[in-house]
Amino acid sequence: MTTHFGTTQQGEDVAKIIISAGDLTVSVLSFGAIVQDVRLADVPHSLALGSDRLQDYEDTMGYFGAIVGPIANRISTARVRLDGMMYELERNENGTTHLHSGTDGVHRKVWRVVSHSADRVTLALTLADGVAGLPGQRDIRVTYQVSAPATLTMTIDGVTDATTCMNFASHIYWNLDGSDTWEGHRLTIAADSFLPVDAQTCPTGEIADVSGTAMDFRKGVVPQKGSPGLDHNFCLSDGKQPLRDVLSLAGQCGVEMTLATTEAGLQIHDAATSHRPGKPCYEGLVIEPQAWPDAPNHRGFGSIKVGPANPYHQVTNWRFQRTDL
């Protein structure tokens, strides 16, 4: 089902598309390719944080539920070198760092709905050469599909006519309990190492073992607000892998989510400084499958370069179940 969700401040119409199968129903917006609402049968609240007002997404909720890119996360120097040319990027965080591709990011765009069925929607976006500071005409497609009993699968594909950078990520805020904060959720991450960050929340370059640290979530941890503070990449592998389970999140109400991805990293953000209007910080955990952040500035972090012969491809899925039944 497709309905009119609103009109942007620039006068563009935004659609809301509802897809469902089995016990899962998901609402997607054409603005930012946002996952606005995720409903599991017999659970009285959305598992993902969203808003019914387009203005909220344009003003204070810019990343909630959106696809971020073409470069997700941070580029510490706000510049990248490609084929011997240096490209200057927007310094939209603290006047120094490039975050989520700045004001030209795909989270600020209205995507085209190119196909839609009861259980699937595909959205597309074309970025002209120079948009977000990067070369190449880039054509991006995101497909969301729901399958029984309760799985949401996201596929992102990007092609370009010139060498460029791509590192897309889903930026959904999750709270499986519908509670004021994510406190009480149990988080398990299949990562033996993580990336420490500096005062600007950029990777220092160190790849640190999680053993003996507060970043060891391998056996499952119920984190507390600020203990540890979370806005870090957890290292799943050195590069893209076949789709595999890497994380589980369990609420206190009996809902559990398992995340599988092809990506090499997971950025976990505790929402210490972001919130919905009228709601507190720490309301939801952000779990972003992606390549390692700031990769162009660190050898050993992998590459986010793509070109005409090596397009971008990501698959991530979220499986939900009721463990109290």
Q: What is the pLDDT of residues 129-179, one digit of tens each?
A: 999 999 999 999 999 999 999 999 999 999 999 999 999 999 999 999 999
Which amino acid, 57? Answer: Y
Please state, in angstroms and rounded to a whole number, the distance separating the CA atoms of residues 15 and 113: 8
Which CATH entry fits the domain spanning 2-322: 3.40.50.150, 2.70.98.10, 3.40.50.300, 1.10.3720.10? Answer: 2.70.98.10
Helices (H) and strands (E) in the chain, counts: 1, 26
Tokens of 7: 């009109």
**Contact in structure between 164 and 307 (CB atoms under 8 Å):** yes
Can you give the pLDDT at residue 186? 98
CA of 85: how far to CAs of 80, 161, 164, in Å? Answer: 8, 16, 11
The stretch 179-200 carries a mean pLDDT of: 97
Using pLDDT thresholds of 50, 70 and 90, give the confidence band for residue 325: low
The stretch 292-308 carries a mean pLDDT of: 97
Please state, in angstroms and rounded to a whole number, the distance separating the CA atoms of residues 13 and 6: 6
Per-residue pLDDT for 324 more than 80? no
Tokens of 210: 């999680």
The stretch 81-99 carries a mean pLDDT of: 95
Can you give the pLDDT at residue 114? 98
**Contact in structure between 226 and 272 (CB atoms under 8 Å):** yes
Give the domain ranges of the chain: 2-322
Q: How many residues belong to the chain? A: 325
pLDDT 10s digits, 25-45 = 999 999 999 999 999 999 999
What are the residues facing 141 on neighbouring strands?
124, 157
Prediction pTM value: 0.97
Please state, in angstroms and rounded to a whole number, the distance separating the CA atoms of residues 303 and 222: 33
pLDDT 10s digits, 219-265 = 999 999 999 999 999 999 999 999 999 999 999 999 999 999 999 99
Please state, in angstroms and rounded to a whole number, the distance separating the CA atoms of residues 33 and 122: 9
Sequence-separated (6 or more) residues with CB below 8 Å from residue 187: 217, 220, 221, 222, 223, 247, 248, 249, 268, 285
CA of 106: how far to CAs of 62, 73, 176, 207, 232, in Å? Answer: 11, 13, 26, 29, 22
